[in-house]
Structure 1
């Protein structure tokens, strides 16, 4: 069913709101909310946290490794329906309404609705997380740079909000929830489909990297339990026998873009963008610490994943190996072999908060290796078949993105009065 606009609109006089249905009322936030200043005397209540992605949720539902206070005594009390704003991250949309009673950080702003105001807390959760509302929160935030902006109560109370009746708020929220349920189901199915294609890629890599591409190959025992049988004419070696792994350097950083970029773990992506630069003259840097497009890298700290570098010429951070292959080793084939062997390498990982592997464990990884001609055939066949699957995955990602944008767009249109949901509607 195509949704229609309201019968008549009036100019709100507020830039972020624009035109509103004629019967909607404009309020300052100080007319809608007041601060809830009550503090917990025990800290035993459920701890709530605020995210720009999920809104207000229980801290226990989050996988967070950040420091946790020993006691939550003195934390702010929150009641179901209260608006909770992460003062430091309001400019990113880190706010929402509480779905249950609890406590939250003293650094958050907690606002309870005033009596007599049309208030379905779900409506405010949707409204204040729209792009228009977040932009307005940002405009009223105080600070010199975006990362230091703070939205304090005094400024929050100055913001204008347009409100429909509580009956309409309820209808709007019910519509959004029905729509979200349908869209989220579609997204979940697409994500599952993507997972299956990613599993297919892993299966194809494992099959070819251990057995080759000839169905008539004879096998014998590799002598390595985790590898199992191998093609008869393939050799069992170790990484150190076929390649040299060189750790990156601990380079002093400079913010001047005139230097050579420093590549760190988080920048090992297709669209590498280094933000820090080495202040050492390029001629004084060891050749082994320099990398160029196409070099094979392996992050031994945190990620434990091989990468074919795709960025500009750079120097390598000390948490990453550059892998220099012998002349009888094809780098593309070794990339796929290491990708297959990541699970095996993870067995040797050390550390609790930051997993890493030792250079000795990496260098001693067993490799079952065909001749270089077969390596090239295997790598080429994998590149060709994986590219086809990745095109399918890219299309799935595109569909997911479109569904998210659709849901966000419909939500914004609903809470900003662009469509009339005052009567029952069919999605």
Structure 2
């Protein structure tokens, strides 16, 4: 069947069972007439096997519903003195993070183990009996997770769950053949939807690459494809319009990092401190023609460039601020720097593992310098392109979110009997 995204994702084109009855469970609603519910203790046991003697050294973690092997190099920070306190889990065990439901209602808390390993004993590990299909129980609990019904189950001040809560939890008592049919259906359709999502994500990547090409061509070649060209003298820039110039950044603006005075201004509560882009909203006073701020180190992502339209702010010694522009407008400067600097000056390798960005690398970065009138035309052209680009990008992102919604609904309706797949 071809997957179609409709305006109402709850209208899924699959057959239903002949008749339904009230399950007696609020979050579950109606179930097929031939289905029965039974307490989960008939099919599950709590895992209590500790890693005494450190017999297993593969450390697992629960990350947004997935049980992942944790690389040894990442076993730092909040880790136990000994992994003997961890519990040993096997493939097809079900892991549930039962703590603190009140304070975290976004992440997924239930995962299916695929590899033998150890995981913190703070999590509940369920072993499923041979008379029940672990994957079906996982998908059934997953629907409890994605529907957020799990957050109504917690007890105590912090809404914690225990094995006692889950052993009384009502699960469908249906034939293994039916369970297997549902699991096969969910796997097949999930793979199709995931493939569709991947294709959309690849389209977004190509769209972002196209955006970079459009901006780079505009700021280095101009908007007139018939303009006479000349060699810029800079290998990575290549030819430029004959009437343009090339100059080093140090001749086009003033730039500097923060210092003791700027930090004192922050300490005195005078201005907010610029650290990264999420500070932009807090700035409301304009002081300089400052169109770009670049992080120079301190784990903030070396070489990241942020755009300020207005604002009065302080910046620390790991941040460069550019202002007092000469021969280039601040907006043209920002577009040029943000589209080329990381890929050219840092060879696309800007990352938090780079300790710092030397002043000389910034000062000697080459800029094309069109006449001011052309700069304004280029800025206007790119602004118009951005508006169209953003519209397309939002469309792709919306489609991805709708596909994810569709997948969640499809799984939930299949495992709870709202649609018939066998």
Could you tell me the TM-score, scaled by structure 1's length?
Answer: 0.78
Contact 1:16 1:133 in 2 (8 A): no
1:153 aligns with 2:152: no
Structure 1: 5+ residue stretches without partners: none
* Residue deviations 1:186-223 (CA, integer Å, cap 9, x gap): 22222222222211111112222212223344444434
Partners of 2:75 and 2:328 in 1: CA distance: 41
Partners of 2:417 and 2:84 in 1: CA distance: 42
Contact 2:155 2:161 in 1 (8 A): yes
Task: Return the match for 1:108 from 123, 126, 129.
Answer: 123
Aligned-partner SS, 1:342: helix
Q: What corresponds to 1:394 in structure 2?
A: 394
Aligned ranges for residues 366-381 of structure 1 at < 5 Å? 366-381=366-381
Contact 1:263 1:314 in 2 (8 A): no
Partners of 1:191 and 1:324 in 2: CA distance: 37
Partners of 2:164 and 2:268 in 1: CA distance: 41
Q: What corresponds to 2:62 in structure 1?
A: 50
Q: Give, in angstroms, the shift of residue 371 of structure 1.
A: 2.0
* Residue deviations 1:99-154 (CA, integer Å, cap 9, x gap): 232222333221112454xx222223322223666633323345757xxx644434
Q: What corresponds to 1:120 in structure 2?
A: 133
Q: Give, in angstroms, the shift of residue 418 of structure 1.
A: 1.0
Q: What corresponds to 1:241 in structure 2?
A: 251
Q: Give, in angstroms, the shift of residue 397 of structure 1.
A: 1.7
Q: What corresponds to 2:327 in structure 1?
A: 328
Aligned-partner SS, 2:28: coil
Task: Return the match for 1:37 from 25, 28, 48.
Answer: 48
Could you tell me the TM-score, scaled by structure 2's length?
Answer: 0.79
Q: What corresponds to 2:292 in structure 1?
A: 296
Partners of 2:345 and 2:100 in 1: CA distance: 38
Q: What corresponds to 2:90 in structure 1?
A: 79
Aligned-partner SS, 2:223: coil
Partners of 2:139 and 2:28 in 1: CA distance: 14
Q: What corresponds to 2:403 in structure 1?
A: 403
More deviation, 231-240/341-350: 341-350
Q: Give, in angstroms, the shift of residue 384 of structure 1.
A: 2.1
Q: What corresponds to 1:174 in structure 2?
A: 184
More deviation, 373-382/342-351: 342-351
Partners of 2:190 and 2:20 in 1: CA distance: 27
Q: What corresponds to 1:26 in structure 2?
A: 37
1:6 aligns with 2:2: no
Contact 1:47 1:58 in 2 (8 A): yes
Partners of 1:347 and 1:98 in 2: CA distance: 40
Partners of 2:406 and 2:268 in 1: CA distance: 43
Partners of 1:213 and 1:5 in 2: CA distance: 59
Aligned-partner SS, 2:255: strand
Residues 133 and 75 (structure 1), Cα distance of their counterparts in 2 relative to 1, 3 Å cut: same
Aligned ranges for residues 227-306 of structure 1 at < 5 Å? 227-245=237-255, 247=257, 249-250=262-263, 251-252=266-267, 264-265=275-276, 267=278, 287=287, 295-300=291-296, 301-302=300-301, 304-306=303-305
Aligned-partner SS, 2:54: coil
Contact 1:10 1:20 in 2 (8 A): yes
Q: What corresponds to 1:210 in structure 2?
A: 220
Residues 78 and 89 (structure 1), Cα distance of their counterparts in 2 relative to 1, 3 Å cut: farther
